[in-house]
Chain A
Amino acid sequence: MTAIIIAIAWNLGQVIFLGIFFAIVAIIVVTLAASTIRTMRIVKENKTDAVRWESEFHDLTPVSRTCRHELTGEFKHRVCNNGFDCNTCESHAKLLARTPAESAPSQVQTAAGFAVPLDRLYHRGHTWAKPETDGTFTIGIDDFASRLVGSPEGVELPALGTRIAMNGTAWNFLKGGTSTRFLSPIDGEVIETSNGAEGWFLRVKPVRGEVKTGHLLKGREVGAWIEREFARLQQLLSDPQVGVTLPDGGMAVQDIAGAYPDKNWEAIYSTLLLEP
Chain B
Amino acid sequence: MDKQLIARGVTRTSLKNFYLWILPWCLLLAVGLYAVFLCLAKGLNQTNMDNRFSFGLWIYLDLTVIALGAGAFFTGFLLYVLKRKELKAVINSAVVIGFICYSGAVAVLGVDVGQPLRSWFTFWHPNVHSMLTEVTFCITCYLTVLAIEYIPVVLKNRKLKKVPSMLVFEFELHKLMVVFAAVGTFLSFFHQGSLGGLYGVLVGRPFAFRPALGIWPTTFFLFILSAAAVGPSFIMLTTWAASKISRKSLVKPDVYRYLGKISGSLLIFYIILKAVDTMFWINTVSTKGFSPAGFYRMQEFGTWILFTEIVVLGLVPAIMLLSRRVRANQKLLITAGAMACAGIVLNRYVMTIQTLALPTLPFDVFMSYVPSWQEVATFLAVLSYGMLVYSFSFRYLTLFPQEREIQSV
Contacts and interface: CB of A to CB of B under 8 A. Distances in A.
Question: Do the two chains touch directly in the complex (Cβ atoms below 8 Å apart)?
Answer: yes
Contact of A275 (B3, B8, B128): B8
B128 A13 contact: yes
B305 interface: no
Contacts of B299: none
Interface in B364-409: 401, 404-405, 407-409
Contacts of A276: 8-9, 404
Contacts of B86: none
A275 B404 CA distance: 12
A207 interface: no
B8 A266 contact: yes
B125 interface: yes
Interface stretch (A25-33, A76-84, A90-98, A195-203): A25-33
B167 A61 contact: no
Contacts of A208: none
Interface string B113-155: 0000000000011101100010001000100110010000000
A18 B404 contact: no
Contact of A43 (B11, B165, B179, B409): B165
Given A8-B124, A27-B183, A270-B9, A61 B404 contact: yes
> Quick one: which of B133, B137, B186 has the most chain A CB within 10 A?
B137
A64 B148 CA distance: 31
Contacts, number: 97
Given A17-B126, A24-B183, A178-B4, A51 B408 contact: no
B180 interface: yes
A21 B141 contact: yes
B171 interface: yes
Contacts of A245: none
Interface in B167-181: 167-176, 179-180
A61 B137 contact: no
A162 interface: no
A271 B7 CA distance: 12
Interface in A40-63: 40, 42-43, 46, 48, 51-52, 54-55, 59, 61
B8 A35 contact: no
A177 interface: yes
A39 interface: yes
Interface in B91-132: 124-126, 128-129
Contacts of A38: 172
A8 B11 CA distance: 58
B336 interface: no
Chain B interface bracket (under 10, 10 to 19, 20 to 34, 35 or more): 35 or more
Contact of B175 (A8, A13, A27, A35): A35
A43 B164 contact: yes
A48 B164 contact: yes
A61 B405 contact: yes
Given A28-B183, A39-B165, A48-B167, A14 B8 contact: no
A35 B404 CA distance: 29
A264 interface: yes
B187 interface: yes
B309 to A, nearest CB: 33
A25 B141 contact: yes
B128 A42 contact: no
A14 B170 CA distance: 36
A271 B148 contact: no
A27 B179 contact: yes
A267 B8 contact: yes
A99 B347 CA distance: 67
Contacts of B165: 39-40, 43
A267 B406 CA distance: 12
B405 A28 contact: no
B404 A36 contact: no
A164 to B, nearest CB: 15
Nearest to A32: B148
B409 to A, nearest CB: 8
Contact of A267 (B4, B126, B179, B404): B404
A27 B409 CA distance: 42
Contacts of B124: 8
Interface string B195-216: 0000000000000000000000
B160 to A, nearest CB: 13
Given A34-B176, A55-B170, A264 B128 contact: no
A123 B285 CA distance: 74
A270 B144 CA distance: 34
B187 A24 contact: yes
A178 B183 CA distance: 41
A62 to B, nearest CB: 8
A115 B174 CA distance: 41
A48 B8 contact: no
B186 to A, nearest CB: 8
A246 interface: no
A224 interface: no
Contact of A35 (B133, B144, B169, B407): B169
Interface in B211-245: none
A69 B370 CA distance: 69
A264 B81 CA distance: 38
Nearest to A269: B8
A64 B249 CA distance: 21
Contact of B144 (A16, A28, A52, A271): A28
Interface in B1-15: 3-4, 8-11
A275 B133 CA distance: 48
A236 interface: yes
Nearest to A46: B164
Contacts of A51: 167-168, 171
Contact of B179 (A21, A31, A264): A31
Nearest to A61: B405
A230 to B, nearest CB: 15
Nearest to A236: B408
9 smallest CB-CB distances across A and B, nearest first, come from A35-B172, A270-B8, A267-B9, A48-B164, A17-B128, A270-B9, A39-B169, A55-B171, A13-B128
Given A28-B148, A59-B401, A177-B3, 8 more contacts: A28-B180, A34-B176, A35-B176, A36-B172, A43-B165, A48-B164, A271-B9, A276-B9
